[in-house]
C-alpha cells in the first residue's frame, strides 16, 4: 500500500522492491499479484486495465480513499520491534558443538564478506539517490533516513565481525600455546 503513492503495476512494484528496498524488504511477483487482487477485493485499491504500446497490457493499481485511510492508520500504529530470526546467528551460536574454532573463524570471515557487500550496496544507493545528504527535498527525507538505518546496522555488524575475529584468534593462540607446552 505504501508504495502506491503513485499508481503502478505489480511489475513496477517489484522493481521498487529490488532496486530500493532490498535491504529490508523483498517480495516476489507471485506474492505481489495475488496481494494486489486481494486489496482490490477489500476495496482498498482500484485497478485499471491499460493496453500498452510496447509489450502486454498492464494492470495499473491506485489507492482508493478507503485505502488511503487504512494506510494512514497503519503508519500511525505503534512499531513492532519483535526481533526477526537470524539463522546465521543461530548457526554461530551452536558452532561450539563443532569443537573446532577455525570453522567458526571461517564462518565469521564469510559473514564479514557478506556485510561488506551490503555496505557497498548501501553506499551505492546513497550516492545514487541522496548525494551528500544535505538539503533533501521532502519526498526523499524519509528514504534517506531509512537507508541510514541499514548503513549503521551493517557497520555495527562489521564491528562485531572484527571483535569476534579478534576473540577467536586470541583463543586459538592460547590453544596453540598450551598445545606446545604439552609437547614439552
Partner DNA sequence: GGATTCATGTAATCAGTTACATGATTTC
Partner DNA sequence: GAAATCATGTAACTGATTACATGAATCC
* Interface residue list for its own copies (CB under 8 A): 2, 5, 21-26, 71-72, 74-98, 103-104, 107, 110-111, 114-115, 118, 138-139, 141-143, 145-146, 148-150, 152-153, 155-157, 159-160, 163-164, 167, 171
Helix, strand and coil percent figures for the chain, each rounded to 5: 65, 5, 25
Work out what residue 118 binds among its own copies, DNA, none; the CB cut-off runs from 5 to 8 Å by kind. Answer: its own copies
What mask, x for binding DNA by CB under 7 A, covers residues 113 to 142? ------------------------------
Q: What is the largest CA-CA distance in the chain?
A: 83
Q: What is the DSSP string of 9-71?
A: -HHHHHHHHHHHSTTT----HHHHHHHHHHHHHTTSEEEEEE--SSSS-EEEEEE-HHHHHHH
Please identify, using beta-carbon distances, which residue of 83 and 99 lies nearer to DNA. Answer: 83
Shortest Å, Cβ 125 to DNA: 19
Give residues with Cβ within 8 angstroms of 22, minimum separation 6: 121
Work out what residue 37 binds among its own copies, DNA, none; the CB cut-off runs from 5 to 8 Å by kind. Answer: DNA
Amino acid at each position: 500500500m505504501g508504495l502506491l503513492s503513485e499508481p503502478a503495476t505489480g511489475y513496477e512494484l517489484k522493481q521498487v522492491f529490488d532496486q530500493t528496498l532490498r535491504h529490508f524488504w523483498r517480495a516476489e511477483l507471485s506474492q505481489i499479484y495475488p496481494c494486489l487482487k486481494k486489496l482490490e477485493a477489500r476495496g482498498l485499491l482500484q485497478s485499471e486495465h491499460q493496453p500498452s504500446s510496447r509489450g502486454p497490457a498492464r494492470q495499473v493499481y491506485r489507492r482508493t480513499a478507503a485505502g488511503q485511510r487504512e494506510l494512514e492508520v497503519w503508519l500511525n500504529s505503534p512499531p513492532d520491534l519483535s526481533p526477526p530470526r537470524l539463522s546465521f546467528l543461530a548457526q554461530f551460536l551452536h558452532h561450539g558443538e563443532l569443537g573446532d574454532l577455525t570453522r567458526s573463524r571461517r564462518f565469521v570471515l564469510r559473514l564479514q564478506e557478506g556485510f561488506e557487500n551490503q555496505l557497498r550496496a548501501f553506499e551505492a544507493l546513497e550516492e545514487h539517490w541522496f548525494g551528500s545528504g544535505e538539503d533533501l527535498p521532502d519526498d526523499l527525507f524519509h528514504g534517506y533516513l531509512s537507508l541510514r538505518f541499514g548503513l549503521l546496522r551493517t557497520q555495527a555488524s562489521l564491528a562485531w565481525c572484527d571483535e569476534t575475529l579478534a576473540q577467536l584468534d586470541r583463543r586459538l593462540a592460547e590453544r596453540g600455546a598450551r598445545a606446545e607446552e604439552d609437547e614439552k
